[in-house]
Structure 1
Amino acid sequence: MFRKLTLTAWSLLIMTAATGAQAADPENTIYLETDQGRVTIELRPDLAPQHVERIKTLTREGFYDGVVFHRVIEGFMAQTGDPTGTGTGGSEYPDVPAEFSDYEYKRGTAAMARAMDPDSANSQFFICFTDTGCSFLKGQYTVWGQVSEGMEHIDAVERGEPPRNPSKIVKMTVAADAEGAEAAAE
């Protein structure tokens, strides 16, 4: 009896550990593979449903794959999402109207970049380096996610405006798509 109970407990522990590697909500999780390593971003459709949909659409189209971090400011943020690498490019889709919130910016907050027009967010986004570095942006830029793992890889991106040897997004994937592909391969 004790042996069966022990085996059952170990089986449950192993199953829990195996599923712990998967995203809590795969449809609302992004895997951003940089040339430094994997970053996991939990999407926030409760804050910005239109922006989350845009990020997922562009991700699924492979738009972000190979795109550099073109603006990286120490103590502030790392910006990417421009296919031209100049800070002026975007996707072929129309801009997304602002979805500002009272979300408190902190280390790992992911938000849309934009021009002076509040409704000009398109494909570019930034990730904050510190709890205080982006706090002044509250209510002025649309927050769409929060880094939950791998922030050390964002910390490692090359600094500069633009960086001499810019770090890049190797591949960006919606976790539901990645986990579906992994399950199909097994």
Structure 2
Amino acid sequence: MTRMTLIAALALATVATPALAQRSSPQPPPAALKAPTAQDWRTPDAADVMVIDTNKGRIFVELAPRLAPAHVERIKILTRRGFYDGRSFFRVIDVFMAQTGDPLDSGAGGSELPDLSAEFTFRRGAADPFVPVADAGASQTGFVGVVPVMTQSPMLMAMTADQRITGWALFCPGVAGMARGSEENSANSQFFLMRQAYPSLEKRYTAFGRVVAGLEVVRAIKTGEPVAAPQDQMTRVRMLADIPGAERPALRVVDTAGPWFAAQVAQMRAEDGADFSACNLKIPSEVK
């Protein structure tokens, strides 16, 4: 099988520095956000939450079937087969991602199931759940559940045959994506969890969910390309719905369609101005 790789080239940009800067009056700092209240929380569907136990701690990934239904189904099938138990994080780059899911723990393996067709983009309709956070005219940035996305302008919906527009995931910290070989339709079992934002992956790799709890665990995984022995491992991987009730953790996540998140968006837009990024927005979670 072709070795699964990710594009790792960093794009460099130069920023012109103005010779003169206008003096402006100091602005008071924005008021701190209050703690989320009962109306701000939601409970994810346990059938769409992947629970990854590692030797560094536990990671919860909420899957996004709206964005990549075939890849989400593959993740569920392999998880329920125990395929991911004991798999190593064999390629981990500090400012990039942590890759795993290979039975050979090398990047050269996969499952016996057929490779998947790419789901780099999705089609957004007017009735689809979408929380906008920025509008650039020709495009909109927002959230489908916990996954940050960008889409074409909704004004184009009236001009398309299916009344839908194209959208794609933003590879922000915590986003879960499928590794692949040089062929676009070659994803199989290997996946990666983003440690930092990496825009060059957009529309080139399939995103199937996002870490909603345990990002600090992802960032604590031992780095290397490849990782030197001993490698950190996924000791056990289960769907939250399959964990017996007596030991099943209770997970709740701030709703991106709720008032607390809307207040955060407004605050971040005011603070960051032209540098506003959906990747900087936080989605608090609680695990009990």
Work out which of the residue numbers 185, 194, 199 in structure 2 matches 1:128: 194
Alpha-carbon offset, residue 182 of structure 1: 3.8
Report percent identity of matched pairs.
46
Greater relative CO (CA pairs within 8 A, separation 6+):
1
User: Larger % of helix: which?
Assistant: 1
Alignment map for 1:84-99 (pairs within 5 Å) = 84-99=104-119
Change (3 A) 1:170 1:23: farther
Alpha-carbon offset, residue 104 of structure 1: 1.1
Per-residue CA deviations over 1:18-38 (Å, capped at 9, x if unaligned) read xx9x95210100001111111
Instruction: Give SS of 2:79's match.
Output: helix
Instruction: Give SS of 1:118's match.
Output: coil
The answer as to 2:131 corresponding to 1:65 is: no
Alpha-carbon offset, residue 117 of structure 1: 0.5
Greater than 2 Å deviation, 4+ residue runs: 179-183
Q: Give the unaligned 5+ runs of structure 1.
A: 1-15
Q: Give the unaligned 5+ runs of structure 2.
A: 1-37, 122-167, 249-288
The answer as to 2:212 corresponding to 1:152 is: no
The answer as to 2:38 corresponding to 1:38 is: no
| Partners of 1:37 and 1:153 within 8 A in 2 | yes
Work out which of the residue numbers 166, 169, 172 in structure 1 matches 2:231: 166
Indicate the residue corresponding to 1:178 in structure 2.
243
Amino acid at match of 1:142: T
Amino acid at match of 1:81: G
User: Larger % of strand: which?
Assistant: 2
C-alpha distance in structure 2 between counterparts of 1:181 and 1:84, whole Å: 34
Amino acid at match of 2:236: K
Alpha-carbon offset, residue 172 of structure 1: 0.6
Instruction: Give SS of 1:114's match.
Output: coil
CA RMSD of aligned residues (A): 1.7
Aligned length: 162
Alpha-carbon offset, residue 50 of structure 1: 0.4
Work out which of the residue numbers 171, 180, 184 in structure 2 matches 1:118: 184
C-alpha distance in structure 2 between counterparts of 1:23 and 1:128, whole Å: 23
Instruction: Give SS of 2:169's match.
Output: coil
C-alpha distance in structure 2 between counterparts of 1:174 and 1:144, whole Å: 14
C-alpha distance in structure 2 between counterparts of 1:33 and 1:169, whole Å: 6
Q: TM-score, normalised by structure 2?
A: 0.54
Amino acid at match of 2:46: P
Per-residue CA deviations over 1:67-112 (Å, capped at 9, x if unaligned) read 0001001101100000111110000100010001211110000000
Instruction: Give SS of 1:50's match.
Output: helix
